[in-house]
Structure 1
Amino acid sequence: MNTVTYGVYTTARQNCSYVLEYDDALQNLQAIIFLVRCPILSRSIVCVMRVQIPTLSCVAFVCCPHAPDLDRLRDSCKASHVLLRASPLGLLALIYEQRGLDYEGWVTRVALESHEIEVFMRMSPPGWTYHRLSPSRYKELSDTDRLLSRLQSTDIEICHGHSIMTFAVRFGKFCTEALDVIEGKPGVPKLAPGARAMVEDRIRFSISRCLSVRERFEELTHRHRGQINASFSLIAQKDSKVNQAMAGIGVDVARVTALDSRTMKTIGVLTLIFLPSSLVTSLWQANIFHLSEDTNGKVYAGTTVAVTAAVFFCWWLYMRLFEKPLEQYSYPLPQTPAPDPVPSSALFTHVRFGEAQSPS
């Protein structure tokens, strides 16, 4: 196994090429080795085919990590044995045809996922056939974190699909050119017109299918960009509603706090009213002052009123002298400069409903 053949098994990228094998004297062409690697996600079909010159007898080695893909390819070879006998490149045509079917199923699945997101966001235009979402699927898309993760993974898959389909179109052109490469070598008999047409027709049809799949991936790219923008807008709206709800809760808390403060202030005022009278009553009950019965009531009432007034005066004096007014913590707003006056000779244009009118 030469270096180029070994590279097609070790590389992780798509590949389609051929190698010319000469004799020891490097004069006569002995064989053409075709190296093909057709990927789709993590399922790549690798084919190394050696075509003997000039007998066109060939031997091919095909491998794939996905066993069902090999089984389908084996069934296709059994059903198309006439194509394999017509040309040694019939095997490449069958591989290309099978990959085209896989690409078509791939883009259909991605388009269905994208359509589900559009239905969830109500982005589908009227007249389109809607795909009804299951309750579990609707609940999954309602989760913001899962929705963003799903959008990101789908975007990566669409970008990867566009790259793969670009290679698929190039691989179809490579298969067509391979027919000319084999027939153009000296000593190689030309294929019968019917045999060449049999191979070219299947390759041409697969190229057309891959082109339509690539166009669909391009369409999904633009649609998916709109979905991502719409999802961020919906998330921003949801956050705005949450902030509005939190602001409403803050207003309610402030209202309750204000009512609580008013209640505490009322309790404080009542305390200032009745605490001096309670103090005077305690002193009077201690029999510290010995007054006559005629003057006792008058002195008690006057003392109570005087002490209560003194307490309220001290409270007012504390509010005036020891508490800083709120104006000390206010800062002046920056003054914006006035715009430059517009000269009277300037011409203004008033635009209204698409018409421009100049004032007379």
Structure 2
Amino acid sequence: MSFLNRFFATKGRKPSKPLVATGILTIGLVLLLLCIASSILYGASDIQLATIWQSLAHYDPQQTSHQIIRNLRIPRGLAAALIGAALAVSGSIMQGMTRNPLASPSIMGVTAGATFMMAIAFALMPEASNVTIMIWAFLGAGIGAGIVFGVGSISKTGLTPVKLALAGTAVTALLGSVSSAIAIHFNIAKDLSFWYAGGVASVQWVHVQLLAPIVVIGLIIGLALSSSITVLNLGEDLARGLGQKTLLIKIVGTLVVLLLTGAAISVAGTIGFIGLVIPHITRFLVGTDYRWIIPCSAILGAILLVTADTVSRMVNPPFETPVGTITALVGVPFFLYLARREGRTNS
């Protein structure tokens, strides 16, 4: 039994479940491929399974169905998987570092900050490239998170999970209102409407090419930090006693969160609650070892967003429901339950 498992057993905490985690990674990968295949099949245009194989093996640019599959459906499914994984891993890292079960990019102001800076970018640089928009989203994610943690810390009793959630809600509302004012004043409301609703309907291969390396790098760094985050989650004093450089871990972890969240938001807009719900489900299934939580969260987050995107096309065809609405239907009740439980714990 590993050191972390022995430590959890000594402290009465939930040890890791490597067999369950391995099963999630193996079965989850297969299920993710099936979800992406379903995402390619269903939409405004009916496509047969055999047509997908033909478009991959014998692509004919003269056939509309082949063009839809290669240029629209496949990049859309891949982008949804990458974005879902990025948001889920971001939430896992945030909850592990802060020991706050309510932490997630959408609640901690990261998403609202990125959207706010993207509004400024659209206002000042109407012809901005995808890379430029992504850089502004990174900057905004950092600003939003910094404001939330700063506001939440202004208290005699310190930064509690509920106070952090309240600060995040207030700052998110403020930045959202300012973003709307900028959109109206500079007549860019249509440009921002997609990011407010959230979705991957207009994703192209260029977005996948930008997302993939950033998400892969973020996941690799997150996995490298996973053991340190596991110990840090047990308490900062304990982590220091074991010789960890807690400040360095928090800085690198925060940069990973901003990297993953900024990239996801710059492509898909505001998609909430994946970073809140998936880490909790993963911890319930595999235990509290972040060496398993991070990769399993990536798989489950990808499955959730690909599935939500597919469902969004089937609710009211041929029109599409915003993906953020589908994820909110799952996330809002879950958030209220966690807030109520944390409120009882801290009372």
Q: TM-score range by the shorter chain?
A: under 0.3
Q: TM-score, normalised by structure 2?
A: 0.21
Task: Answer 1 or 2: which has greater strand percent.
Answer: 1
Structure of higher CA gyration radius:
1
Task: Answer 1 or 2: which has greater helix percent.
Answer: 2
Q: Relative contact order (alpha carbons < 8 A, sep ≥ 6): 1 or 2 greater?
A: 2
